[in-house]
Amino acid sequence: MTQLQYVKAEPIALKNHPDFNEQWLKRAIVNDPSLLGLGTDLIVKDIERIQPKGGRLDLLLQDANSNQRYEMEIQLGKTDESHIIRTIEYWDIERKRYPQYDHTAVIIAEDITSRFLNVISLFNGFIPLIAKQMNAIKLGNHVSLVCTTVLDQMTLGLEEPEVVEVVDRSYWEKRSTKTTVAIADQLFELIQTIDPALELKYNKFYIGLAKEGQANNFATFCPLKNGLRLEVRLGKFAEVDEKIDETGLTLINYTKWGTYAFKIFKENINSHGDFIKDLFQKAYTEFGT
3-state SS of 25-86 is: HHHHHHHCHHHHCCCCCEEEEEEEEECCCCCEEEEEEEECCCCEEEEEEEEEEECCHHHHHH
Is 97 a member of any domain?
Answer: yes
Pair 208, 81 in one domain: no
State the pLDDT at residue 287: 80
Is 163 a member of any domain?
Answer: no
Contacts of 248 (CB under 8 A, 6+ apart): none
Is 160 a member of any domain?
Answer: no
Contact 135, 146 (CB under 8 A): yes
Confidence of residue 272 (pLDDT cuts 50, 70, 90): very high
Residue 165 CA to its chain's centroid (Å): 21
Pair 129, 200 in one domain: no
Is 3 a member of any domain?
Answer: no
How much of the chain exceeds pLDDT 70, in percent? 94
Among residues 48, 77, 60, the alpha carbon closest in space to that of 136 is found at 77
Contact 223, 179 (CB under 8 A): no
pLDDT at 6 over 60: yes
Pair 122, 27 in one domain: yes
Pair 131, 247 in one domain: no
Strands 214-215 and 207-211: antiparallel
In the chain, the amino acid numbered 274 is: D
State the pLDDT at residue 53: 77
CATH of the domain at 256: 3.90.1150.20
Q: Which domain holds residue 193?
A: 169-287
The CA-based angle 143-144-146, given to 5 degrees, is 145
Pair 15, 87 in one domain: yes
**95-146: per-residue pLDDT in tens?**
888 888 889 999 998 888 777 777 776 776 678 888 899 898 988 888 888 8
**238-247: per-residue pLDDT in tens?**
888 899 999 9
Q: Where are the alpha helices (DSSP H) in the chain?
A: 22-31, 81-97, 114-123, 169-175, 178-192, 238-247, 266-287
State the pLDDT at residue 216: 92
Is 1 a member of any domain?
Answer: no
For residues 73-82, average pLDDT: 86
Instruction: Give the separation between CA 119 and CA 139, rounded to whole angstroms.
Output: 34
Pair 112, 36 in one domain: yes
pLDDT at 274 over 90: yes
Length of the chain: 289
Which range is least confidently modeled, 21-30, 34-43, 180-189, 259-268? 34-43
pLDDT at 288 over 90: no
In angstroms, the Cα distances linking 20 to 16, 47, 57, 136 are: 8, 18, 20, 9
Confidence of residue 154 (pLDDT cuts 50, 70, 90): low
How much of the chain exceeds pLDDT 90, in percent? 45
Is 14 a member of any domain?
Answer: yes
Pair 20, 134 in one domain: yes
Pair 22, 143 in one domain: yes
Between 232 and 118, the more confident residue is 232
pLDDT at 159 over 50: no
CATH of the domain at 35: 3.40.1350.10
pLDDT at 165 over 80: no
Is 4 a member of any domain?
Answer: no
State the pLDDT at residue 160: 46
Most confident among 85-89, 135-139, 185-189, 255-259 (mean pLDDT): 185-189
pLDDT at 268 over 90: yes
Pair 143, 179 in one domain: no
pLDDT at 269 over 90: yes
| Number of domains the chain is built from | 2
Among residues 260, 189, 264, 262, the alpha carbon closest in space to that of 226 is found at 264
Pair 106, 228 in one domain: no
Pair 27, 110 in one domain: yes
Pair 138, 209 in one domain: no
State the pLDDT at residue 163: 52
Is 230 a member of any domain?
Answer: yes
**171-214: per-residue pLDDT in tens?**
999 999 999 999 999 999 999 999 999 999 999 889 999 998 88
